Structure 1
Amino acid sequence: MSIGEVFLATYGRAHELAWRAPGRANLIGEHTDHSGGLALPFALPWGVTVAAARNAVGTVRLRSLQRDVPTGPRTLRADDQGSGWERYVTGVFWALRAAGHEVGGADLLIDGDVPAGAGLGSSAALEVAVACALNELYGLGLADRDLVEVARAAENEVAGVPCGMLDQAASTLCREGHALFLDCASGGGRNVPLRPSDHGLTLLIIDTGVRRELSDGRYARRRAECEDAARLLGVESLREVEDLAGSLATLNATLAARVRHVVTENHRVEAAVGLLRAGAVADLGALLNATHLSLRDQFEVSCPELDAAVEAAVRGGARGARMLGGGFGGSALALVPDDRVATVRQAVGAAFDERGWGTPRFLPAVPSAGARKVD
């Protein structure tokens, strides 16, 4: 059955519209967005679709077609934020109303194919799809950048994840065949061509199968450490740090490590943009490797499975690899020559098998389009 047919069977009437928003992978620029930094994400071919219709009773009725979610529709009052995944949906209603927009009730049917908890932006895809649907349903006339802020506010204030804007911006603003050069201080972004297949390369996502929730507190601690460091250094955000060596000398070891990662990662983003513009895509590998080491050793957000995936991928012939997303589990990204993809998959699979871990999943990532209306 199509999502429209399921909507009709669930709510007894047709949906008015449907929007689809993609997940994302971040080529480089990890854990910089919450410090006003730079990032270079691209949209993925997998996403979340939301079919929607207004209702006259002022409630939020929602049903997800995901296998791990109860099958029946849930009805939430206007002041009920729900629990778990529901908060990413109700958070969008809250954020729109908090910004002064008149949004009534709605019936929503949600489906998607972004692996949840894999570090691929599934929550942002859900938020953006809901925000786009409500924007059209209620004729709010919000621009794309406004929708990014609505989706981020939903995740920050209701879902309880103190993320920056990276995931929501990528899901909304990316173009097919491009990465988004994102300035998280200004909110501005420019799309830069990213077509690895033109260079005989594949961007290969390695899903370790290790699931984590960014709302469990560890992500928040990293952001708080960055904010503490900025306050001690007398700057608004770590983006403003210019004298890295001098700044590090004034901080304790933990905060110095966090600052070192953020500042050097911003430099790596700028270097990556330069390589893309020069057509030197294969040379991105060294930057990916450096980012992983920094996330592992300075920001301390990796885990054994991610480290093993990265090391095995490089050993198998990848030009470079790194962990993706907030960390503590999820996925890695490898830049692999097309003729080495099978070897890399075999090497990573063998590394996991030797350690008694589950079989990783491999997903070729093609830079795709941002949020769009669907039939």
Structure 2
Amino acid sequence: MGEQQVRAAFTELYGAEPEGVWSAPGRVNLIGEHTDYNDGFVMPFALPHTAVAAVARRDDGVLRLHSADVEGGVAELALDALAPGGDHDWTAYPAGVVWALREAGHPVTGADVHLASTVPAGAGLSSSAALEVVVALALNDLYELGLPRWQLARLCQRAENVYVGAPTGIMDQTASACCEAGHALFLDTRDLTQKQIPFDLAAEGLRLLVVDTQVKHAHSGGEYGKRRAGCEKGAALLGVDALRDVPYADLGAALERLAPDDPDGEVRRLVRHVVTEDERVERVVALLEAGDARAIGPVLDEGHASLRDDFRVSCPELDLVVDTARTAGALGARMTGGGFGGSAIVLVETADVAPVTQAVEKAFAAADFTAPRVFEAVPAAGAHRLT
């Protein structure tokens, strides 16, 4: 749904014109998975797929929400009644943002909101973060709050962590709020230091495909939380604030120290993934800055193996994408996002887009899996006002 359609739908729903229309993208993570809540490094970029919101202020303490993508009418919520854990519907994401803004002392007195999104839900592409960021940006502009993008991302993360109850890190919201077209975002999640890395694969004869396996996942589920708790346990046992503080060169010694308290090896596997993944992010940054994008392919492969074997968040469909794509000639591939379903990314020569895509589709059909959705990922602009 485009800007004019969203504006027209708002007017029909609420009987008046919106004060503006805003857009916030989903994201794909090139490298750096499950590192953000360990104060580590990530490297996402924004997708052309966006959540769009038409919004107008209210002064009566009422929040009205409507989505073009969900069956049902307008949801009406009292701002004073917003509380964590009380909403298990899609409305928890925008409502959580309003709650987080008000809890932080910002004078939001109500809003009418109409949303439409082209970010695939449950595909590991941050559909929820796009909803959060687009509402936060709209309210920041309308109420003249003057909050910088990184702070909006923090508030959106708090909405998802506390109000929705999903223990996600800061990457998704920061990517949606801060990415730039034609670039990947090298983000230090500890201090939110950002560096925009030029990422124009087409100029080098390359493409990055996203393969949505159609296997839905939910970050509010228990497995994601277990991984985060295990990482926190590993950091505590090693006496560091976060696993980011374990030097890559000292990984072997750190794993030996953990052995007496980790008889089944679960914590050591989690620690190994996070420490090696941070090193992989730094390697990819160096390769891209050196103009050697083809060389990131093997690093993507390493990342998938680590997520599959150490972090154990892959699934048969994701593994099939990666294995099939590599056999069909891809330069590298890995699952992206939190795991347990969602999407994989595949780096290919431009000439290999069709053969690799067809090989993956054929493999899914042979395995009797739901047909995947495949599209090219092109780094797009972060959140912004449309009108």
Specify if TM > 0.5.
yes
The 2-side partners of 1:3 and 1:194 are apart by 31
Aligned match of 2:195 in 179, 186, 190?
190
The 2-side partners of 1:55 and 1:102 are apart by 12
Q: Which residue of 2 aligns with 1:35?
A: 38
Map of 1:37-76 to 2, 5 A cutoff?
Answer: 37-66=40-69, 69-76=70-77
3-state DSSP of counterpart to 1:116: coil
Cα shift at 1:188:
1.0
The 2-side partners of 1:186 and 1:229 are apart by 21
CA contact (8 A) 1:76 1:82 kept: no
The 2-side partners of 1:250 and 1:161 are apart by 31
The 2-side partners of 1:148 and 1:358 are apart by 34
3-state DSSP of counterpart to 2:257: coil
3-state DSSP of counterpart to 2:46: strand
3-state DSSP of counterpart to 2:159: helix
The 1-side partners of 2:363 and 2:5 are apart by 40
Q: Which residue of 2 aligns with 1:264?
A: 276
Cα shift at 1:193:
0.3
Q: Which residue of 2 aligns with 1:5?
A: 8
The 2-side partners of 1:98 and 1:241 are apart by 35
For structure 2, which runs of at least 5 residues remain unmatched after alignment? none
3-state DSSP of counterpart to 1:250: helix
Q: Which amino acid aligns with 1:20?
A: S
1:17 and 2:24 are equivalent in the alignment:
no
The 2-side partners of 1:125 and 1:342 are apart by 30
For structure 1, which runs of at least 5 residues remain unmatched after alignment? none
Cα shift at 1:41:
0.5
What whole-Å deviation, never above 9, does each CA across 1:26-58 have from its counterpart, x for those lacking one?
100011000000011100000101110012321
1:211 and 2:216 are equivalent in the alignment:
yes
Map of 1:83-94 to 2, 5 A cutoff?
Answer: 83-94=88-99
Aligned match of 1:157 in 147, 156, 162?
162
Aligned match of 1:199 in 197, 204, 210?
204
The 1-side partners of 2:155 and 2:58 are apart by 21
The 2-side partners of 1:217 and 1:64 are apart by 27
1:247 and 2:259 are equivalent in the alignment:
no
Aligned match of 1:283 in 295, 305, 314?
295
Q: Which amino acid aligns with 2:103?
A: A
Aligned match of 1:147 in 132, 152, 157?
152
Q: Which residue of 1 aligns with 2:345?
A: 333
CA contact (8 A) 2:87 2:164 kept: no
Cα shift at 1:71:
3.3
The 2-side partners of 1:154 and 1:216 are apart by 16
The 2-side partners of 1:204 and 1:231 are apart by 38
* TM-score (normalizing by structure 1): 0.98
Instruction: Note the aligned Cα RMSD (angstroms).
Output: 0.9
Cα shift at 1:235:
0.3
Q: Which residue of 1 aligns with 2:376?
A: 364
1:220 and 2:225 are equivalent in the alignment:
yes
* TM-score (normalizing by structure 2): 0.95
Q: Which residue of 1 aligns with 2:336?
A: 324
CA contact (8 A) 1:65 1:71 kept: no
Q: Which amino acid aligns with 1:349?
A: E
Cα shift at 1:168:
0.6
3-state DSSP of counterpart to 2:65: strand
1:77 and 2:110 are equivalent in the alignment:
no
Cα shift at 1:83:
2.5
Runs of 4+ in 1 over 3 A off after TM superposition: none
Aligned match of 1:172 in 154, 177, 190?
177
Q: Which residue of 1 aligns with 2:116?
A: 111
